[in-house]
């Protein structure tokens, strides 16, 4: 019996990369996984892989830039289940890297909407379901530039830094009055399309696969943790 058997999980950004790997790993560990993202066809491919491996999943296409979409997702989940045991928030957008003085307002606005405002909307809409679980877990995937700013990463770093602070505050607000526990995880350098976009000259073979991150997340979900729990997942040796 896995520690995740019978649990219900929601994974954002599950159409590819780290999010897809986490969704598949959580399903393999016995949980039913609701997978969300904008690309329906990609979500269907992830769902098919989960089914083929003997797991259970439901696809729920959602654009996190649409606040009403998040509300509809929460309503659909609450109509089917009385509690949500796990929410892994992996989705994010990476604006074009450029100097702070040159950042385009439309790109910054989208980054803030998807990376920050959607994070608050997920917290607001799923807080009740997470607290209804005997051992609710909220896992937020952050980035090193949120706390270690880097030239030309201003738009992305600012949006992720804001979201990270928000999640940390949420952890502090809930840790003493509920069983909900919050983890803020920096996946570190990982072989994804977003990473390739940011580092086009990098040899992808030099960075770890998303499955390494997924395996650590699944292990963490079976552990007793403080809230907030902070961790960086490094390249395996």
pLDDT, one tens digit per residue, over 119-161 is 999 999 999 999 999 999 999 999 999 999 999 999 999 999 9
pLDDT, one tens digit per residue, over 167-182 is 999 999 999 999 999 9
pLDDT, one tens digit per residue, over 39-93 is 999 999 999 999 999 999 999 999 999 889 999 999 999 999 999 999 999 999 9
pLDDT, one tens digit per residue, over 3-17 is 799 999 999 999 999
The pLDDT assigned to 201 comes to 92
What CATH number has the domain spanning 8-232? 3.40.50.720
Per-chain mean pLDDT for the chain = 96
Residues forming the active site: 156
Q: Per this entry, what is the length of the chain?
A: 237
Token output for 33: 């996984």
The pLDDT assigned to 3 comes to 78
> Dihedral sign, CA of 96, 99, 100, 105?
negative
Token output for 98: 């450029």
> Distance between CA atoms of 58 and 61, rounded to whole angstroms?
10
pLDDT band, very low/low/confident/very high, at 209 (cuts 50, 70, 90): very high
DSSP state for residue 121 in the 8-state scheme: H
> Distance between CA atoms of 133 and 131, rounded to whole angstroms?
5
- Whether the full predicted model's pTM is greater than 0.85, yes or no, is yes
The pLDDT assigned to 122 comes to 98
Which residues are within 8 A (CB) of 11 and not within 5 positions of it... i.e. 6 or more apart?
Answer: 19, 22, 23, 26, 33, 34, 35, 36, 87, 88, 90
> Distance between CA atoms of 109 and 105, rounded to whole angstroms?
6
Is 1 a residue whose pLDDT tops 70?
no
Domain ranges across the chain: 8-232
């Amino acid at each position: 019996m896995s520690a995740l058997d019978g649990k219900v999980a929601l994974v954002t950004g599950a159409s590819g990369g780290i999010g897809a790997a986490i969704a598949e790993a959580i399903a393999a560990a016995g949980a039913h996984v609701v997978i969300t993202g904008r690309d329906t066809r990609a979500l269907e491919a992830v769902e098919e892989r989960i089914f083929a491996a003997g797991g259970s999943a439901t696809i729920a296409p959602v654009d996190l830039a649409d606040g009403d979409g998040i509300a509809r997702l929460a309503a659909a989940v609450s109509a089917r289940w009385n509690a949500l045991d796990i929410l892994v928030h992996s989705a994010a957008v990476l604006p074009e890297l450029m100097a702070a003085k040159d950042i385009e307002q439309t790109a910054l606005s989208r980054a803030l909407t998807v990376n920050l405002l959607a994070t608050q909307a997920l917290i607001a809409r799923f807080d009740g379901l997470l607290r209804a679980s005997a051992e609710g877990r909220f896992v937020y995937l952050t980035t090193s530039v949120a706390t270690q700013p880097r030239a030309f990463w201003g738009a992305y770093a600012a949006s992720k830094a804001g979201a990270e602070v928000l999640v940390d505050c949420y952890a502090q607000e809930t840790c003493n009055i509920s069983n909900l526990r919050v983890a803020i995880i920096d996946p570190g350098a990982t072989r994804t399309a977003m990473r390739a976009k940011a580092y086009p000259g990098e040899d992808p073979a030099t960075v770890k696969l998303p499955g390494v991150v997924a395996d650590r997340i699944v292990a963490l979900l079976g552990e007793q943790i403080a809230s907030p729990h902070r961790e960086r997942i490094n390249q395996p040796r």
